[in-house]
Every structure is written in C-alpha cells, then in structure tokens.
C-alpha cells in the first residue's frame, strides 16, 4: 500500500510539474507577444481579431484566403488601405513590409542588410534538417557568402552562358519531341510539369554532367528534388505538422528524402574529387569549378553539398515556373501570341540551333518575359534584418526588425504600374518603359541578387521560342488561372493545354 501511495504521489507531482511548466511557458509567450505588439504599435497595419488574433496575429486571415488569392495579394490590399509601410504579425513574430522605392534601395544596396535568420534558416534547416544549409541562397554570413559567390560568378558571366546554349537547345529539342508525340495523340499536357522535367535535365547536365533524362523517365534525382520541394512547402505552410501523429510520419519520410538527395550530392562530389586528384578527364561544369576553386582552401564537404542542392532547387523550379506562366498568359491573349509568332518567324524563322544573337533579336518576346515576371514574380517575398535602427516614411523601425519587400506586391500596385492586372508587354518597350527604380526586382537586387538570373532567362527564352515555333495550343478553360504560392509562385492549374503541331 505504501508503494502504491508513493506512485500516486509521484504521478501527482509529475502532473503539477507539467501543468506548472505549461502555464509558465504560456505566460512567457503571452508577455513576449504583448511586448512585441507594444514595440511596433506606432506602425500602421491590419488589425488582429480577438484573443486568437492576439496570439496568432494575422495568420487567420492568411489561412482563410480564397483559392484565387495568395498571401502577396492580401499584402497588396493592406498596402492600399494602410500606406507604403505596414506591419503584420505572424504568431510571435512581427514583419515590417514596405513598397517605398527609396527604402528598398537603402535596405538592399546602401546598407546591404543581411538576410533575416527567422526566414532563411527555415530554408536552410527546416525542422532542424539540413536542406539548403549554408548554400548561396541561405547563407546568413555575408562575408562567407561573398567569398563563395565569387567562386561561382565566372560560370554565370555571358561568355560562360554561351557555352550552356548547346544544352539549352538539346534539352528543349528533347522536350519538343515529347510534346509532338503528345500532340499527335491529342493528349492534354501540363506545361509546368514538362518544363520542370526539362529544367531538371539542364541543370543536371551543365552543373554536374549528369544525363538523367527526366523528360522521358522518372529517376532518383528527379524524385528526390521534387519530393524535397513538396515536403519543404508543406512544412513551411503547416507549422502544426510536427504536433500530429501523421505529421511525425511525414517528417520522418521527409528526412529520409533529404538524406538521399544530399547523399547523392556527396557521391557526385567525392567521385569528382578523386577524378581531379588522379588526373582523369573531367567535364568543365559547375561541380568542377567548385572543386578547382577550392583546391588551395580547406572546405567542408557539407558546404559543397549545400551548393549542389541549392543549384538544383534554384536552377530548376524558377525557370520552369516562368515558362509555364508565359504560356498561361499569352494563351489568354491571342493578339499577343500572334505578335510573338510573327516576330519569331521574321527574325529567326524555323532555325533550331539558337544562338545568343538570335535571342537578342526577339525584342517583343523579351518584353513578354519581363511582363510575366512583373505580374507573377519569382519568389513571394524577400526578407532582410535591420542591422541598425532606421526611419521609413516617418516611422521608426527598431534594430533587428524583419523588413520584407516583394516584387510581386510592387508589380501589382496601381501607382507603379497602370492597370497591373492587365498583361501588357508593351509597357516594357524601350520607348514606353516608365518603370520606376526599385519597383521591379523579380530576381532580387543588390549584392545578393540571383546569381542565375541570366541563366534562367536565356534558358526560358530558348524553350519558349522552340515551343512557339512548333505548336499552336489551346488552354484548358476549366483549370485555375490564378497563382499558387509555395516557396516560389507558380500557376495553380499547372498550365494545362492541348497542343497541335504547326504546319511548316
């Protein structure tokens, strides 16, 4: 009996300990959120609703968005209502958001503020799992990033990009062959899916001399990258995933996928190191460049794997999104599509081996790409940490604040772009272009702009030119024509269409 009594006392002690700890944690969070709200109360922004709003902030509004809107659309509305600088609350974090061009210049260029750890550590280490790690996209140390960026810069200069054109042409031709087969069978296609396959093959080839043929076959790398992105998006937009039994199972599987992807990178890098050491022939690709530029330096293999994974993610998804977005937009505008085809026919005809000079002739297609990037952008938001206190339009912004901007939001503001919902490539014609500085930055800006922006645009233009040379198409009218927000912005309906082969 005495033993049973002691057990009951122990259970009670454990219960009170757990209850007391939970109560203390709840009290700490409450005080933290209260002080946070007081700290930013002088900055305008959307109100939170009730007790739940006190703790969750504006998360409820974001979660309840209709299917035809993404979070940046909601921010456009907040900006219209509250002005060029606002604040909004995400649980126990406060975000200061602005579209003010002068502030954007100061944050990204004059001050060159560092990336905010609350945001980019999620990309690097979601749930503590090393995903992009300290790669070029996610590294929070500006000095270390600058050194690593300088190693890669030569591979993305114009001269180097010219050497990639051969693969851009080859992989685009392979995709056109597959699409012709689909057209002959009168099968509908999802342009986003097919473009993802093509861009995967391009980055595998020019980056790591891997011939994987994702266009025609499934393969491990394709599966790992797609599932890693899918899992990351799920983790990013479902903060309660880790608290459910089904979530535990999903996270366990996600960790396995990330491990497999990183192990594949490790295998490729170690194999190339051995080839360089023993003097074997090695391709002059990005992985060789990484290793040769690090020959006289000590480096961590995990950092090189970070770059391997980052290049696949950044070099594949964004370009595929752009291709699908262009097809979706011009498919709704017959007059614009007619202009594109006329320009291609007059400037390069049915030439298949496209050169840089050929792409330069396609002035109108270039405007179409720019207008697509204006309306859709690439990533939803860019985030920087205020390394010093600053003043934005009369509002004092505390040091350490999370300052966010968005090319999507700026690009869809009436005061910067007239009739922003209208797809109008003519606004980017040289004689008409009235774009104000720091209102259009789909590939970021400042020192940490996108390394591969020219790579992505040239690859997309090669693929799009060949697509318009080869096909007429009709969009599926029942699909969603709105954007979907993941880690990047893509067409929610994946650009579903039916192709027909153009007669020569």
Could you give all domains of the chain from N- to C-terminal order, each with its CATH number?
39-131+380-441 (3.30.43.20), 136-353+448-503 (1.10.630.10)
Q: How large a percentage of the chain has pLDDT more than 70? A: 94
Q: What is the pLDDT of residue 180?
A: 97
Count Cβ atoms within 10 A of the Cβ of residue 502 and give its class: 0-12 exposed, 13-18 middle, 19 or more buried.
middle
- Evaluated on CA atoms 466, 469, 473, 479, the torsion sign reads positive
Q: What is the pLDDT of residue 8?
A: 53
Residue 437: pLDDT over 60: yes
Q: What is the pLDDT of residue 25?
A: 82
pLDDT in tens, 485-503: 888 899 999 999 999 998 7
pLDDT in tens, 141-156: 888 888 888 888 888 8
Q: What is the pLDDT of residue 409?
A: 97
Q: Does the pTM of the predicted model rise above 0.85?
A: yes
pLDDT in tens, 349-376: 999 999 999 999 999 999 999 999 999 9
Q: What is the pLDDT of residue 414?
A: 94
What confidence tier does 43 reach under pLDDT thresholds 50, 70, 90? very high
Q: What letter would DSSP give residue 250?
A: H
Greatest alpha-carbon pair distance for the chain in Å reads 97
Q: Tell me: is residue 450 an annotated ligand-binding position.
A: yes
Q: Are 377 and 407 in contact (CB under 8 A)?
A: yes
Tokens coding 478: 């029942």
The total of other beta-carbon atoms located within 10 Å of residue 335's CB is 7
pLDDT higher for 12 or 14? 14
pLDDT higher for 300 or 71? 71
pLDDT in tens, 48-59: 999 999 999 999
What confidence tier does 325 reach under pLDDT thresholds 50, 70, 90? very high
Beta strands in 4-146 (DSSP E): 85-90, 93-98
CA distances from residue 128 to 131, 250, 262, 456 in whole angstroms, order as listed: 9, 15, 15, 30
- SS3 sequence of 9-25: HHHHHHHHHHHHHHHHH
Mean pLDDT computed over 172-177: 98
Mean pLDDT computed over 417-439: 87
Mean residue pLDDT across the chain? 90
């Amino acid at each position: 009996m005495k033993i049973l009594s002691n057990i009951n006392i122990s259970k009670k002690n454990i219960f009170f300990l757990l209850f007391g700890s939970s109560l203390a944690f709840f009290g700490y969070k409450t005080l933290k959120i209260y002080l946070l709200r007081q700290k930013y109360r002088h900055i305008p922004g959307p109100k939170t609703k009730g007790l739940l709003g006190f703790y969750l902030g504006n998360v409820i509004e974001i979660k309840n968005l209709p299917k035809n809107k993404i979070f940046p659309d909601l921010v456009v509305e907040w900006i219209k209502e509250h002005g060029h600088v606002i604040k909004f609350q995400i649980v126990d974090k406060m975000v200061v958001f602005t579209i003010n061009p002068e502030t954007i210049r100061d944050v990204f260029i004059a001050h060159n503020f560092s990336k905010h750890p609350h945001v980019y550590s999620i990309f690097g280490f979601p749930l503590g799992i090393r995903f992009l790690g300290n790669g070029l996209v996610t590294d929070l140390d500006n000095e270390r990033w600058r050194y690593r960026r300088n190693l890669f810069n030569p591979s993305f200069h114009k001269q180097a990009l010219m050497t990639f054109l051969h693969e851009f042409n080859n992989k685009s031709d392979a995709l056109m062959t597959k699409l012709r087969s689909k057209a002959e069978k009168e099968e509908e296609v999802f342009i986003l899916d097919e473009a993802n396959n093509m861009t995967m093959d391009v980055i595998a080839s020019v980056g790591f001399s891997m011939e994987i043929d994702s266009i025609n076959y499934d393969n491990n790398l394709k599966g790992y990258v797609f599932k890693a992105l899918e899992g990351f998006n799920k983790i990013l937009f479902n903060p309660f995933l880790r608290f459910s039994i089904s979530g535990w199972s999903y996270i366990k599987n996600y960790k396995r996928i990330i491990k497999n992807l990183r192990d594949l990178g490790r295998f490729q890098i170690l194999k190339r190191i051995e080839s360089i050491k023993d003097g074997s022939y090695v391709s002059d690709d990005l992985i060789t460049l990484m290793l040769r530029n690090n020959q006289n330096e000590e480096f961590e293999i995990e950092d090189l794997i970070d770059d391997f994974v980052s290049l696949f993610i950044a070099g594949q998804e964004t370009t595929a999104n752009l291709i699908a977005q262009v097809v979706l937009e011009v498919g709704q505008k017959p007059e614009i599509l007619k202009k594109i085809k006329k320009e291609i026919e007059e400037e390069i005809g049915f030439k298949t081996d496209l050169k840089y000079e050929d792409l330069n002739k396609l002035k109108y297609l270039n405007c179409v790409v720019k207008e697509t990037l204006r309306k859709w952008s690439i990533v939803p938001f860019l985030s920087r940490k205020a390394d010093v206190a600053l003043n934005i339009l009369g509002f004092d912004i505390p040091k350490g604040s999370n300052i966010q901007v968005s090319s999507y939001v700026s690009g869809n503001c009436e005061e910067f772009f007239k009739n922003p919902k209208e797809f109008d490539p003519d606004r980017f014609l040289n004689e008409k272009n009235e774009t104000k500085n720091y209102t259009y930055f789909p590939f970021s800006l400042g020192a940490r702009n996108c390394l591969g922006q020219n790579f992505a645009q040239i690859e997309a233009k090669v693929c799009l030119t060949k697509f318009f040379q080869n096909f007429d198409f009709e969009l599926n009218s029942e699909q969603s024509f709105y954007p979907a927000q993941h880690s990047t912005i893509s067409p929610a309906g994946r650009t579903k269409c039916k192709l027909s082969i153009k007669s020569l």
